[in-house]
Amino acid sequence: MSSPALPMLRTRPLQEVLHVANMRVALLAVTLASLFLFVLGLFMLRFYMLDNLHLSARSVAYTVGAAVVFGDADAAAEDLRSITANRSLAAAYVLDHAGKVIAHWEELDDSLWYVGERLLAGLFIDQPAVAEIRHGGRLVGSVRLHGAGHDLLRFILVAIACGIFALGTSIWVASRLSRRDSSQIVRPLRRLAEVTARARREHRFDAQLEPARISEVQRLSEDVAALFRELTPCGREKCAIMRSSWPIRRTMMRLPACATAPVLKRRQLKSSVC
């Protein structure tokens, strides 16, 4: 009864396997590092944007404070427009002590860019910054500012561009280093395979193996070289002599040194003739 045939496996060169493994490790490391830096930068930017929003609220409250005290809505609206023109804000409101809106400013834009900014602002800056307006120790009004997502959207786009550039550079550098390092591993193994294949075809066991920098490959080369020496005619005779003399050697190990010296001398002379 014949044994079942083993399935044929798809083989790949060792250099390709090592290259793919190195590239996977490099891509995973670069991706994880990029994601960590991106998330860290995003939260740091949110912290600074919230702090800047509260500082802007206090600045606006100080600017429109006089108009709120005197109840001048037009002056409050003018001051509000002038101070919010160059700030990253989505909307600003000036309220009196009862919570009634005295003046307000809002950025009006229906473009896709603005929609993206508002979505980001809603996700990361969900609470408005509020600053009170006091006069003579009593509350006369307040300022409420809603932040815009200009800086967040710019940061995300720049981070994506830098990430793509860094990923491409890392792939190129990792590919070159991986091919160089894997070739240093594969080259002695390929030479060893060529030598053994030639020895099988031509029955020549006198090939010289190059020394390898990798200790495991070097030990394999030394073992193959020792096997080749044993496969030569002289090596086969030496092996036969050693196998035939093993019972005598085992008996001689139990005898004193003075009794085994002549026998060992004759064995050495016989081996040197070969």
Whether the pLDDT of residue 269 is over 50: the answer is no
Residue with tokens 């020792």: 226
Q: Write the pLDDT tens digit of every residue in 59-80.
A: 888 888 888 888 888 888 888 8
Residue with tokens 């490099």: 26
DSSP string, 144-195: EEEE-SHHHHHHHHHHHHHHHHHHHHHHHHHHHHHHHHHHHHHHHHHHHHHH
- The packing angle between helices 150-202 and 14-63, to 10°, is 170
Sign of the alpha-carbon torsion through 86, 88, 94, 97: negative
Bigger pLDDT: 261 vs 53: 53
| Pairing of the two strands 129-135 and 89-96 | unpaired
pLDDT, residue 41, reads 87
Q: Write the pLDDT tens digit of every residue in 154-183.
A: 888 888 898 889 888 888 888 888 888 888
Bigger pLDDT: 182 vs 6: 182
Residues pairing with 132 in the sheet: 142
Give CA–CA dist 66/103, Å, rounded. 13
DSSP string, 13-49: -HHHHHHHHHHHHHHHHHHHHHHHHHHHHHHHHHHHH
Domain boundaries, the chain: 14-172, 236-255+266-274
pLDDT, residue 253, reads 54
pLDDT, residue 198, reads 78
Structure tokens at 223: 């073992």
Question: Quick one: which of 130, 140, 156, 141 has its CA closest to 58?
Answer: 130
pTM, two decimals, is 0.61
Neighbouring C-beta atoms of residue 205, cutoff 10 Å? 19
Residue with tokens 């790949």: 12
Give CA–CA dist 49/171, Å, rounded. 34
Whether the pLDDT of residue 260 is over 50: the answer is no
Q: Write the pLDDT tens digit of every residue in 197-243.
A: 877 777 767 667 777 777 887 788 778 778 777 776 654 555 455 45
Question: Quick one: which of 89, 69, 74 has its CA closest to 144?
Answer: 89
Question: Quick one: which of 175, 168, 179, 167 has its CA closest to 30?
Answer: 167
Fold of 14-172: Beta-Lactamase (3.30.450)
